[in-house]
């Protein structure tokens, strides 16, 4: 297995401290604080460790404080309800004695019912879309040090951008990205859904900068997640190509809002996301 992927999987393997108490390691991915996707994926994994025979179908989370990537994070799970069909969990992430993150997640037994979805956007396939990291690295010399370090590190997944996005050119807040892990991972839906939560935090909020021609990579704007919501519609594999169809309907009050729909290669809608975050321009 690819060593970066093996490390990411270890990151999602929490240490159980007590029945409802878990501890997760942190990683430096080149950002000044813990990556929000890490906390999201680990908190979801902690909730999943307290649920049997049911799969997560939705989560809603708030980022309260910046996390410290040099220290572990403790996750406390509250077993709010175990019903006949649905199970609810609340998770509080704690670091240095303070709450840094809240998550509420809902789980459901497998049930049959009406099934419909919107169609997948008609876009170029991943084989015809350029590798996003390779394209961004062509401009490393013009980035501030903090962004240069972020884009220089190797990761266990790849993104391919359907549309070319040029800094300084305002355009509609719509974007399509293909992404996948660069190696196979275990056939476990808990693992795949936690990995999807982790990866869903990439590029989502950046969509809100497009109508303004602002470049996060060049340091023109500060972005920070405030909340993150996710709905899991159908089984998913993150080691196969997935399309992230992104749209930003609004930004105001130094906050940007973005929605995402995630489709698999066959066109099935596997998940949806929503995020609001701080979007503050720098002088």
Which residue has tokens 């021609």? Answer: 213
Residue 178 φ/ψ region, left for φ over 0, alpha for ψ in the -120 to 50 degree band, beta for the rest: beta
Q: Which of 6, 34, 4 is nearest to 154 (CA)?
A: 4
Long-range contacts for 235-238 (Cβ within 8 Å, ≥24 apart)?
Answer: 235/189, 235/192, 235/270, 236/189, 236/192, 236/193, 236/196, 236/262, 236/264, 236/270, 236/271, 237/192, 237/264, 238/157, 238/180, 238/181, 238/185, 238/192, 238/195, 238/196, 238/199
Given 42, 129, 161, 275, the catalytic residue: 275
Q: Give the separation between CA 94 and CA 198, rounded to whole angstroms.
A: 18
User: Quick check: 272 and 117 in contact, CB under 8 A?
Assistant: no
- Known catalytic residue at 215: no
Given 38, 129, 225, 251, the catalytic residue: 225
Given 95, 161, 201, 272, the catalytic residue: 201
Which residue has tokens 């070319």? Answer: 164
Q: Which of 249, 275, 264 is nearest to 178 (CA)?
A: 264
Bridge partners of 257, per DSSP, are: 250, 276
- Known catalytic residue at 225: yes
Catalytic amino acids? 201, 225, 275
């Amino acid at each position: 297995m690819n060593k970066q992927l093996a490390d990411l999987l270890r990151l999602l393997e929490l240490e159980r401290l007590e029945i409802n108490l878990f501890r997760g390691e942190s990683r430096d991915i080149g950002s000044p604080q813990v990556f929000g996707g890490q906390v999201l994926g680990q908190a979801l994994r902690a909730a999943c460790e307290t649920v049997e025979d049911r799969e997560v179908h939705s989560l809603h989370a708030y980022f309260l404080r910046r996390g410290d990537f040099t220290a572990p994070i403790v996750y406390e799970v509250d077993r709010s309800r175990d019903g006949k069909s649905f199970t609810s969990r609340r998770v509080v992430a704690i670091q240095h004695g303070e709450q840094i993150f809240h998550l509420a997640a809902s789980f459901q037994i497998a049930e049959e019912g009406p099934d419909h979805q919107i169609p997948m956007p008609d876009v170029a396939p991943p084989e015809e879309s350029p590798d996003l990291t390779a394209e961004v690295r062509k401009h490393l010399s013009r980035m501030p040090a903090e962004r240069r370090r972020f884009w220089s590190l190797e990761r266990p997944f790849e993104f391919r951008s359907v549309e070319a996005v040029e800094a300084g050119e305002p355009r509609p807040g719509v974007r399509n990205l293909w992404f996948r892990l660069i190696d196979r991972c275990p056939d476990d839906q808990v693992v795949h859904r936690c990995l999807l939560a982790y990866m869903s935090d990439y590029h989502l909020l950046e969509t809100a900068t497009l109508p303004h021609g602002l470049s996060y990579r060049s340091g023109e704007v500060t972005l920070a997640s405030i909340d993150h919501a996710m709905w899991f519609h159908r089984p998913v594999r993150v080691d196969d190509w997935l399309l992230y169809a992104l749209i930003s309907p609004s930004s105001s009050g130094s906050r940007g809002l973005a929605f995402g729909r995630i489709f698999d290669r066959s066109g099935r809608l596997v998940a949806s996301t929503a995020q609001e975050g701080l979007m503050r321009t720098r002088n």
